[in-house]
Amino acid sequence: MRGIRTCFGAACIHEDLDLDVRPGEILALVGASGCGKSVLLREMILLAHPTAGRVLLFGEEAQDLDETGANRLRRRIGITFQHGALFNSLTVAENIAVPLKEQTRLPAQRIRDIAMLKLLLVGLPPDAASKYPSQLSGGMHKRAALARALAMDPDLLILDEPGTGLDPVGAGALDDLILGLHQSLGVTVVMSTHDLDSLWRVADRVAFLGRRRILATGTPAELSAREEPELMAFFQGPRGSARSRAWNRG
């Protein structure tokens, strides 16, 4: 993304923002609440349009595409939303099958087969397939959303706050899952997060969003050593420093 500028009326949340995602990495996007992480992610998958600037997806200029072109690119991207956004009127298996049904002409039997595999890949038990989203626990809900994001075997996986609302054990298990999927499927992951634990654990690289642009990028260890006040507050605050001490101890 180059020179991104996003304004809502007079209020600009991004100003001349640049961000690169390298193939095969896990990039964590962090920053204070309300600094525009989710908006940036939505711009990445062409659900929202920046006021100015360019978005390049898989080497293609993406912001001028019509709906057909955008959909073609979106097939290669899987996304989970902050609140899961599973379709409540469909079972989990049907939820996972939606992208396959809409985007491909595979026969129903094969789609069911693939959907079930995705369900197992995200560590859900087979009997979750016929449940409705409202019958799932928070962690299972997140996993089901992840399975839907993986339905088309995307090259790029975008996760908006995957661990929010989970207990530490559940969030840790989800981190493991993301790492495992990343390793076995080789998918590129961009995630926004507030969770310092998952930041240290999962991310190859961290991009820090502050003062309306990307203040810094680097490994978690690099960023935690930086001097900017925002970064200091994030990494050296009471919660951050405990975490990085633990990390440094190994």
Partner 1 sequence: MPPPRPEALDPGHGQAKPINGPRLLWSPDGGTLVVSGHWTTLTLAGLGAMPPRPDLRSPHGRMTAGPAAEASASPPLAEPLTVHWDPSSAVPMDMPPTRATTVTLDGRGLMALDTAGALQLHRLTEAIALQGMAVQLSGFAAPHLSLLALVRERLAAAAEGLAAIPPPSRPPVLERVGRGSWDWLLQSLGLLSFVGETALAFLRVLAHPGRLRWRQILQVVELDGWRALPVLGMLSFLVGVVIAYQSGVQLRLYGGNLYVVDLVTLTVLRELGPLMTAIVVAGRSGSAYAAQIGTMMVTDEIDALRSIGVSPLELLVLPKALGLILALPLLTVFANLAAVIGGMVMSALMLDLVPETFIRRIPEAVTLNTLMTGLAKAPVFAAAIAIVGCYQGFLVRDGADSVGRHTTTSVVQAIVWVIVIDAAFSVVYSKLGI
- Please state, in angstroms and rounded to a whole number, the distance separating the CA atoms of residues 114 and 121: 10
Q: Which of 9, 34, 107, 250 binds partner 1 (CB under 8 A)?
A: 107
Minimum distance between the CB of residue 158 and partner 1, rounded to whole angstroms?
17
What the block records as the tokens of 165 is 């609302």
Measured distance CA(150)–CA(121) in Å, rounded? 9
Using the minimum distance from each CB to partner 1, give the nearer residue, 105 or 249: 105
Can residue 250 be called a binding residue for partner 1 (CB under 8 A)?
Answer: no
- By CB under 8 A, residue 125 contacts partner 1: yes
Among 152, 157, 190, 231, interactor with partner 1 by CB under 8 A = 152
Give the three-class secondary structure for 211.
Answer: coil
The only residue of 12, 98, 116, 216 in contact with partner 1, by rule CB under 8 A: 116
Q: Which among 95, 91, 83, 86 is positioned nearest to 38, based on CA atoms?
A: 83
60 bridge partner residues: 57
User: Does 182 help bind partner 1 (rule: CB under 8 A)?
Assistant: yes
Q: Which is it for strands 205-210 and 26-31: parallel, antiparallel or unpaired?
A: parallel
- Asked whether the beta carbons of 210 and 31 are under 8 A apart, the reply is yes
| Interface segment toward partner 1; rule CB under 8 A; list 31-39, 54-62, 195-203, 216-224 | 54-62
Among 37, 118, 141, 243, binds partner 1 (CB under 8 A): 118
64 touches partner 1 by CB under 8 A: no
Beta bridge partners of 123: none
Cα separation, 248 vs 185, in Å, equals 30
Question: Which residues of the shown chain bind partner 1 in the complex (CB under 8 A)?
Answer: 23-24, 58-60, 72-73, 75-76, 88-89, 100, 103-107, 109-110, 113-114, 116-118, 120-121, 125-127, 129-130, 132-134, 150-153, 155, 182-187, 204
